[in-house]
Chain A
Amino acid sequence: MGKAWKFGHDIDTDVIIPARYLNRSEPEHLAAHCMEDADASFAQNVQKGDIIVGGKNFGCGSSREHAPLAIKAAGIKAVIAENYGRIFFRNALNIGMPILECPEAVEGIESGDQVDVNLINGTIENFTKGTTFKAKPFPAFMQELIKAGGLIPYVKENKKDA
């Protein structure tokens, strides 16, 4: 269980991790500046297991994988949004950063609510409000990617078969 950090629509990758920090790529460095331009207190106060809730088109903009890397390294357990920018979505799956699509949950969660997600069955629980939601299931191929733990382990496994 963790605290929900709620953001609005079209949260872009420049907000998730500003380009001025991209001259380095260590995850701890990225985590220290995560969400800085939207909420300067985020990086100091975020706790392991917390959850980010975004609106539509979360992670739009640049292809920088530094964005899901920063979120993952900040200790965020999962991102819940109405939907995602295409490259962010792909990057998150590839690096094993859990993301869920669930407009109802976005509507039903406020900043500070105590929330947990079950990454196996996609259940989202809001303990503060006593409500439960179900995220949209991923297509079969993407589930395989997620099961493998991301693209690198997936390619490694399949290389063995070849």
Chain B
Amino acid sequence: MGMTISEKILAAHAGLDKVRPGEIINAKLDLVLANDVTGPVAIKEFSKLGIDRVYDQEKIALVPDHFTPNKDIASAEQSKILRDFVKKQQIKHFWETGRVGIEHCLLPEQGVVLPGDLIIGADSHTCTYGAVGAFATGVGSTDCAAGMATGEAWFRVPESLKFVFNGTKFQPWVSGKDLILYLIGKIGVDGARYKVMEFTGQGIRSLSMDNRLTMCNMAIEAGAKAGIIEPDEITLRYVKERAKREYKLYKSDLDASYENIFEFNSEDIPLQVAFPHLPENTKPVDEASGIKIDQVVIGSCTNGRLEDLEITANILKGKKIHPEIRCLIFPGTQDIYLEALRKGWIETMIEAGAAVSTPTCGPCLGGHMGILAKGERALSTTNRNFVGRMGHPQSEVYLCNPAVAAASAIKGEIVHPKEVVKNG
């Protein structure tokens, strides 16, 4: 029997011909990642190992994106721990404020993560990199410390679930965000626990890289160990100009075995909104229409990429944000920011009355740059709507795609974009 793309990547890195779900393996890593929240804890654990040098300075990425630009003295101290470690260990992949972006937007963009890679990251959304055909999974700081020291990690080979999207036609405004929210609504926040979500079918093949990254980003919201999409022409076009090292393309065998296969008609999936306080509480946007909101957040590692900003700007063009709404827009990286600026999209956003920020995780995790007060409600393109995620424990977060977010920012309540955009 054949193997899935995930099994092939794991086997290759463990030096084995074959692996089977349930097996525990030790495998070599192509990249180990941490940020300014998880990195300092990892560095502390690393220092307990009695190993002087990291296994490879080129295979570690430290990204200070959560509380940067440093929100307060405590977070400044955390960033400094990263910076000092980077200097001492001569770590190659590190970016300072002014060049840094949100890790999961930045690393694919900079060609640091490539097809066929095996990656662990001390950030749960490390699964984003499955979009380029890598096997990437979130771990904690201690795993990250051991990975930085040894270049290896243990894995339980996960079962794979296959999600097939048939047909390349989607309803107007439907994006990768809606597909993944829809799936999480179907299988629940533990529906893929410990497993891989492999996305495939013509519907997926027709999606841009930005949309694929959004989908793999939220695999963790169904509890998955990884989300993955086989590399194709679209992937190659994206990675070719970015890669500065070799990479390898893996594909699932036709007779690979899956624990379960789910099939959908692309065209049947409506625009989605996830209600508080779990990403599985999804409903078609029409059932959310009329819900009053206080704040709209567009950005994050889920929807802070160029296409997301383009859609946002197209909707905001020539319009005004509702007077009672605070609309915050966070480009994912400096390159995305600059490109949006050159295209005139940032100007459009500011003219509409939005606050546009330097790249940071900021409001996505209730860190800084737009915290909610008690009883306030946000509509956000981020990935989590847990209790207290964006501020006060009695605030609420609804999740959606950038088109719904931008249209709702104009209307002052959740709406279908067609209510705001003519011919939409």
Q: Mark B20-46, 1 if CB is under 8 A from A, else 0.
A: 000010000000000001101100110
Contact A64 B142 (CB under 8 A): no
| Interface assignment of B200: CB less than 8 Å from any CB of chain A | no
Most chain B beta-carbon contacts within 10 A, residue among A12, A14, A68: A14
| Interface assignment of A128: CB less than 8 Å from any CB of chain B | no
| Interface assignment of B251: CB less than 8 Å from any CB of chain A | no
Q: Mark A5-18, 1 if CB is under 8 A from B, else 0.
A: 00000101011001
Chain A residues in 8 Å Cβ range of B190: 10, 56-57, 60, 83, 85
Taken together as a complex, chains A and B put the C-alpha atoms of A14 and B141 apart, in Å, by 16
| Interface assignment of A28: CB less than 8 Å from any CB of chain B | no
Contact A155 B146 (CB under 8 A): yes
Chain A residues in 8 Å Cβ range of B142: 65, 91, 94-95, 150-152
Give the Cβ gap from A159 to chain B, nearest Cβ, in Å.
7
Of A10, A56, A63, A150, the contact of B123 (CB 8 Å cutoff):
A63
Chain B residues in 8 Å Cβ range of A57: 189-190, 193, 223
User: Interface stretch among B70-78, B106-114, B303-311, B410-418?
Assistant: B70-78
Give the Cβ gap from B5 to chain A, nearest Cβ, in Å.
19
Chain A residues in 8 Å Cβ range of B48: 152, 156
Count residues on chain B whose CB falls below 8 Å from chain A CBs: 53
Give the Cβ gap from B13 to chain A, nearest Cβ, in Å.
17
Of A19, A69, A141, A152, the contact of B366 (CB 8 Å cutoff):
A19
| Interface assignment of A66: CB less than 8 Å from any CB of chain B | yes
Chain B residues in 8 Å Cβ range of A61: 124, 220, 384, 386
Chain B residues in 8 Å Cβ range of A14: 365-366, 384, 386-389
Chain A residues in 8 Å Cβ range of B189: 10, 57, 60
Count residues on chain A whose CB falls below 8 Å from chain B CBs: 41
| Interface assignment of A119: CB less than 8 Å from any CB of chain B | no
Chain A residues in 8 Å Cβ range of B170: none
Taken together as a complex, chains A and B put the C-alpha atoms of A86 and B393 apart, in Å, by 25
| Interface assignment of B51: CB less than 8 Å from any CB of chain A | yes
Contact B140 A15 (CB under 8 A): no
Taken together as a complex, chains A and B put the C-alpha atoms of A55 and B74 apart, in Å, by 34
Contact B140 A25 (CB under 8 A): no
Of B24, B71, B124, the contact of A141 (CB 8 Å cutoff):
B24
Chain B residues in 8 Å Cβ range of A37: 387-388, 393
Taken together as a complex, chains A and B put the C-alpha atoms of A105 and B154 apart, in Å, by 30
Chain B residues in 8 Å Cβ range of A134: none
Q: Which residue of A lies closest to B154 (CB)?
A: A141
| Interface assignment of A130: CB less than 8 Å from any CB of chain B | no
Contact B193 A83 (CB under 8 A): yes
Contact B41 A60 (CB under 8 A): no
| Interface assignment of B50: CB less than 8 Å from any CB of chain A | yes
| Interface assignment of B119: CB less than 8 Å from any CB of chain A | no
Q: Mark A106-145, 1 if CB is under 8 A from B, else 0.
A: 0000000000000000000000000000000001010000
Of B49, B66, B146, the contact of A22 (CB 8 Å cutoff):
B66
Q: Mark A54-80, 1 if CB is under 8 A from B, else 0.
A: 001100111111101100000000000
Chain B residues in 8 Å Cβ range of A159: 49-51, 150
Taken together as a complex, chains A and B put the C-alpha atoms of A4 and B386 apart, in Å, by 24
Taken together as a complex, chains A and B put the C-alpha atoms of A65 and B39 apart, in Å, by 11
Those of B242-286 within 8 Å (CB) of chain A: 278
Contact B140 A63 (CB under 8 A): yes
Contact B388 A15 (CB under 8 A): yes
Give the Cβ gap from A156 to chain B, nearest Cβ, in Å.
6
Chain A residues in 8 Å Cβ range of B150: 155, 159
Those of A73-104 within 8 Å (CB) of chain B: 83, 85-87, 90-91, 94-95
Of A23, A63, A68, the contact of B138 (CB 8 Å cutoff):
A63
Q: Which residue of B lies closest to A83 (CB)?
A: B193
Taken together as a complex, chains A and B put the C-alpha atoms of A63 and B121 apart, in Å, by 9
Chain B residues in 8 Å Cβ range of A66: 37, 41
Given A151-B146, A155-B49, the answer on whether A63 and B139 have CB atoms closer than 8 Å is: yes
Taken together as a complex, chains A and B put the C-alpha atoms of A91 and B146 apart, in Å, by 12
Taken together as a complex, chains A and B put the C-alpha atoms of A20 and B121 apart, in Å, by 21
Question: Can you pick out 17 interface pairs between chain A and chain B where the beta carbons lie within 8 Å of each other?
Answer: A14-B365, A20-B371, A20-B391, A22-B66, A22-B67, A23-B74, A36-B393, A62-B123, A62-B124, A63-B139, A64-B140, A65-B122, A85-B193, A91-B139, A91-B141, A152-B45, A159-B50
- Residues on B facing A (Cβ under 8 Å): 24, 37-38, 40-41, 44-45, 48-51, 66-67, 71-72, 74-75, 78, 121-124, 126, 138-143, 145-146, 149-150, 154, 189-190, 193-194, 220, 223, 225, 278, 365-367, 371, 384, 386-389, 391, 393
**A-B CB proximity, top 10 nearest:** A91-B140, A65-B140, A94-B142, A19-B365, A23-B75, A57-B190, A63-B124, A23-B74, A37-B393, A37-B388
Given pairs A15-B388, A65-B142, 14 additional interface contacts (CB within 8 A): A14-B366, A19-B66, A23-B75, A25-B44, A36-B393, A62-B123, A63-B124, A65-B122, A85-B223, A86-B225, A139-B24, A152-B49, A155-B49, A159-B51
- Residues on A facing B (Cβ under 8 Å): 10, 12, 14-15, 18-20, 22-25, 36-38, 56-57, 60-66, 68-69, 83, 85-87, 90-91, 94-95, 139, 141, 150-152, 155-156, 159
